[in-house]
Amino acid sequence: MANILVTGGAGYIGSHTCKALHAAGHIPIVVDNLGNGHRDAVRWGPFEEGDIRDISRMDEIFATHKPDAVIHFAGLIEVSRSMSNPQSFWDNNVEGTRILLSTMENAGVDKIVFSSTAAVYGTPDTVPISESAATTPVNPYGETKLAIEGMLAESAAQRGLAYVALRYFNAAGADPASELGERHNPETHLIPLVLQVALGQRDEILVFGNDYDTPDGTAVRDYVHVCDLADAHIAALRQLETNPGSLVANLGTGTGYSVREIISACRKVTGHPIPHRDAPRRAGDPAQLVAAPDLVQERLGWEARNSDLETVIQTAWDWHQSQTEA
């Protein structure tokens, strides 16, 4: 059993990971400013409301709970917002992580799992994308995540920080027990937006770009079930405990689905027609992002067990329906 400090643990991936940590016998200590997270998603350990940029508050939390390791989710994630307000991403994501790493050093905590992103690759030359691919982000969100990876590498070289940076592809789905699900405000992720149309909460789904160099002209993404992502963080903690060092690895399935394929699959699962309308491309959106997951499978023994598209959409649909019934 270990005390694991989880920044952003009231959010979508963070809360699912806290449930997985608890199931694995750990105590997740959630630190969240509730800017995007939800207090009712914190159920499996202590909650400390606070901002990772608040130095004195972070010192207090570390002194109180004495964590053995950190899982770092806290940060801004909306690509479109990063294009319109990049400075907020550098302040929240990069400066916030700098303060977190400083607090960890002062407290003698030397293990961290970091929530990175496939957005560090920008527009890849080849698909699927391996970790050796060029990192040329096309939006400030990806730029800030890549900068944080650099900070982790510097801390590893200077003071022996052990870290795993997991480059997520598209997190999707929900807890099979429907205790947790995806609820961003505003919602920007495709599957919940499509399901909101099925529920009658939106009139239609906008398809941003129908002229990409993909089989059906719409953008292709690699969707990973959020419970599989959570399991990867448990595996990363085990890796840091038994073999401290550094690892940067993709978290994806190796299979991509287009926007039109997602809409079609949602129609099948929900039984609703789900009208859509084509719209211009959004700035900062690459045509294809699909992972080569070989490294994470080899180093962490991880594989996506729940990420077939039907399971992803069915669990998300079950959770969304449970919210309308509540």
Residues marked as catalytic: 141
**CA diameter of the chain:** 56
* CA-CA-CA-CA torsion sign (118, 122, 128, 134): negative
Place of tokens 């939106």: 202
Q: How far apart, in whole angstroms, are the C-alpha atoms of residue 219 and residue 279?
A: 12
Label residue 52 exposed, middle or buried (CB < 10 Å: 0-12, 13-18, 19+). Answer: buried
Q: How far apart, in whole angstroms, are the C-alpha atoms of residue 60 and residue 83?
A: 34
Q: How far apart, in whole angstroms, are the C-alpha atoms of residue 7 and residue 13?
A: 11
Of 37, 28, 32, whose CA–CA distance to 53 is shortest? 32
CA distances from 149 to 117, 142, 155, 253 (A): 10, 11, 10, 22
Parallel, antiparallel, or unpaired: how do β-strands 47-49 and 27-32 relate?
Answer: parallel
Q: Which two tokens stand for residue 42?
A: 């914190």
Q: Which two tokens stand for residue 111?
A: 């293990």
Q: Which two tokens stand for residue 10?
A: 């009231």
